[in-house]
Amino acid sequence: MKLPKVTELLDIRGKESSLEPAKVPDFDYQKIPKEVYFSWEATANHEVKGMSKRFIRAFTIIGIFVGLLLLIMQEFFVILIVGSLIFFTQALMKLTPEPTKYELSSHGLKVGDDLYYWDHLRRFFFVLREGTEVIGVDTTLGFPGRLFIPFNQVDKEKLKEILIKYLHFLENEPRTFFDNAYDRVVKKFSVEDKE
């Protein structure tokens, strides 16, 4: 009797086994003249959600207690690291994202200054992120493994028509064990007030 591997049970697969082969197998961008099909500029929907007053109060009390404990233990370096992380997090929350230029061409998908050639991209799908529909594109690269691209809803069909020539289209976002586990943990430890 052959038992299944743990990775199969947990739906953990390597990039090779989870992605389809390229839709355009013999892609050589050097032989193809570059033709821009569509370009747009968009800002990532970065909505900073405030935490509830109850959570902030509890976090502050715990923080003061742990800070005093570290001070008594004379762990000044740890206090400095924690303080730096808090400062860094607050600074990042105050930043507003800048608009990014996106471009679909005969060579691939360009995000800002980075060009992802069609032979490095496999499939795309539409997914809702933070209340806005975005395009998810899976890559064969180690990092990033998936690109999330904001777009204007008016251009959805035009983008789909271009992408379907080069990539496989999925109706739903492919989810793994880790995606589902992450969603369950976030639901359990939600910091927003329940209305």
Question: Greater confidence, 105 or 190?
Answer: 105
| 158-174 per-position pLDDT tens digit | 988 988 888 888 888 88
Q: Find tokens 């033709």 and name the residue.
A: 35
Confidence of residue 93 (pLDDT cuts 50, 70, 90): confident
> How many CA atoms lie within 13 Å of 113's alpha carbon, on the beta-carbon side?
0
191 to each of 44, 47, 60, 92, how far by Cα in Å? 23, 15, 14, 18
| 111-161 per-position pLDDT tens digit | 888 888 888 888 889 988 777 888 888 888 777 788 888 888 888 899 889
User: How much is the pTM?
Assistant: 0.64
Q: Taking every pair of C-alpha atoms in the chain, what is the biggest distance, in angstroms?
A: 68
- Quick one: fold of 6-43+98-186? PH-domain like (2.30.29)
What letter does residue 116 receive in the DSSP assignment? Answer: E
Question: Greater confidence, 44 or 18?
Answer: 44
The whole-number pLDDT of residue 101 equals: 92
Region for 131 from its dihedrals, namely left if φ exceeds 0, alpha if ψ lies in -120 to 50, beta otherwise: left
Strand 121-129 relative to strand 114-117, pairing: unpaired
Question: Greater confidence, 113 or 93?
Answer: 113
pLDDT at 99 over 80: yes
The whole-number pLDDT of residue 131 equals: 78
The whole-number pLDDT of residue 195 equals: 44
| 11-38 per-position pLDDT tens digit | 555 554 566 777 777 777 778 888 889 8
Q: How far apart are CA 43 and CA 30, in angstroms?
A: 31
The whole-number pLDDT of residue 2 equals: 64
